[in-house]
Amino acid sequence: MADFDAKSIVDRSRAAFNAGKCKSLATRLEHLKNLYRMIDEHEKDFCDAMKRDLNKPYTECMGYEITLAKNEIIGYLENLSQWVKPERVKKPLFMLGQDAYIRREPLGVVLIIGAWNYPFQLTIHPLIGAIAAGNTVIIKPSELAEETAKILADLLPKYLDSDCVQVVNGAVKETTALLEQKFDHILYTGNSVVGKIVMAAAAKHLTPVTLELGGKSPVFVDKNCDISTAARRITWGKFVNSGQTCIAPDYILCEEEVKDQLVQAIKDTLKEFYGEDPQKSNDYGRIINERHFKRLEDLLQGVNVAAGGKTVIDDKYIEPTIVTDVKGDEAVMQHEIFGPILPIMIVKDADDAIRYINSRNPPLMLHVFTKSKSMMKKIQDEVHSAMFIGNDSLLVGGVDTLPFGGVGTSGMGAYHGKHTFETFSHRRACVVAKLGMEAANQIRYPPYSEKKYSWAQWLMAKKPKREGILGFWPFTLLAMIFAAFFAMFQMMVTLPGLQ
């Protein structure tokens, strides 16, 4: 893009926002309907593009990209008119007769930097919420998923107002130029190295950011567990999209006594899912490019491969691989794998697993497989992670009522469903007072006096709640009054002449 002018692109979005072009509820809903229509009319085009980018199976494309986005839009169409209404809040006594509420208003110009592993979902999902919040949006799809980026740039202007939503394709040069501009919010999905660059650029303009970064997401498999079921669910979550999923299981922690059974169960499941030769399976994807292929291939050097291990660079194919006898200081345990390699490390017990996980950066997703409710609660209580799932994998990403986001090095901020709307909205505090009853306001105006102070304290000062029955003194007083009236009534009906 030799003629790329980041400033002009952002200025165009800023002008549209300042003109209120995308702010009305009617416009937001119209954009959402058009976006749904675009997806519905071009499902096959998007899936074909992702097939070329990642060899993504049609079922995965529809299930984890297209359908999730369509469901997200439907949720907004059903609820947005309620979400944009002022939210009334509780008021102190001195605000009696006045109005206090929260208005959710658009932030302004939003930049969304998408990711390559789910190139449709991770670009469109935040776009939906940013549009619904009334912002103007510039989206920068990942250049690594080139085919999906092209079709987004081609189709979005045909369905959405190009002043309100613009698509910028390109690589580092274009992204860097965009980050030099002032935005009102930036959402980035990707790795922590680029996340730091995005955050540093945003800090120059005091721009808030949402960073979806990932990390090493552990799985603890308790010996008190259905190993066969755990193996199936771990295998599914790990090897969907060839392991290129931010919330996929990254490594397994288990006790020695269950390791062999677990490894065999995963082997059996891999054969069931992908056949004798996964390279020939229509249901198994590919690595995004040669650079990531070589990065993953390097992780296999010098490790004990218990299953898989085959690599074919011309096909960007890495066989689903299990690695055992892993030590914490090995390369495969240092950084997020983001590929079809599953290390298994032995721990003494649950406490040993807890110590190991807590000695590292907080994971994006923590998985626990156990039949024991107390064990599930123990690990949930004692291990710090951004998200948690028990006895399954990936499902958190499909629940749009849950906030999806990281903590610490795995990211900051959250989105999905209403949480995306909240991320791209400013919660504006509003108080509207009446011009009447001015006499009551004399207690707040100078000259001050003891009498004014006493009244002000009575109206404004809160008192701690009392423990025990004294904490329920209003109800106790009412009960005493009722009891007294009841006793008087009984006395009256028992008096001579009233029987």
Report the run of H or E that residue 420 belongs to, with start and end: helix 418-423
Active site residues: 212, 246
**Cα separation of 107 and 109, whole Å?**
7
- Coil, strand or helix at 467: coil
**Cα separation of 213 and 122, whole Å?**
12
Predicted local confidence at residue 497, as pLDDT:
44
Nearest Cα neighbor of 31 from 77, 75, 69 is 77
Q: pLDDT tens digits, residue range 445-464?
A: 999 999 988 988 888 888 88
Task: List the single range of 59-68, 134-143, 436-445, 483-492 with lowest mean pLDDT.
Answer: 483-492
Predicted local confidence at residue 474, as pLDDT:
60
| Cβ–Cβ < 8 Å for 253, 345 | yes
Using a 10 angstrom Cβ sphere, with 0-12 exposed, 13-18 middle and 19 or more buried, the burial of residue 123 is buried
Q: pLDDT tens digits, residue range 342-399?
A: 999 999 999 999 999 999 999 999 999 999 999 999 999 999 999 999 999 999 999 9
| Cβ–Cβ < 8 Å for 38, 159 | yes
pLDDT exceeds cutoff 70 at 236? yes
pLDDT exceeds cutoff 80 at 59? yes
Q: Which two tokens stand for residue 449?
A: 């006096």
Residue 412's φ and ψ, nearest 5 degrees, are: -150, 145
Q: Which two tokens stand for residue 465?
A: 């709640």
Nearest Cα neighbor of 185 from 244, 106, 261 is 106
Find the mean pLDDT for residues 124-150: 98
Find the mean pLDDT for residues 53-64: 97
Predicted local confidence at residue 132, as pLDDT:
98
pLDDT exceeds cutoff 70 at 473? no
| Cβ–Cβ < 8 Å for 85, 96 | no
Predicted local confidence at residue 95, as pLDDT:
85
Find the mean pLDDT for residues 140-163: 98
Predicted local confidence at residue 484, as pLDDT:
58
> At 19, is the pLDDT very low, low, confident or very high (cuts 50, 70, 90)?
very high
Predicted local confidence at residue 440, as pLDDT:
82
Predicted local confidence at residue 3, as pLDDT:
72
**Cα separation of 29 and 278, whole Å?**
44
Distance of CA 316 to the CA centre of its chain: 30
Mean residue pLDDT of the chain comes to 93
Predicted local confidence at residue 498, as pLDDT:
39
| Cβ–Cβ < 8 Å for 104, 228 | no
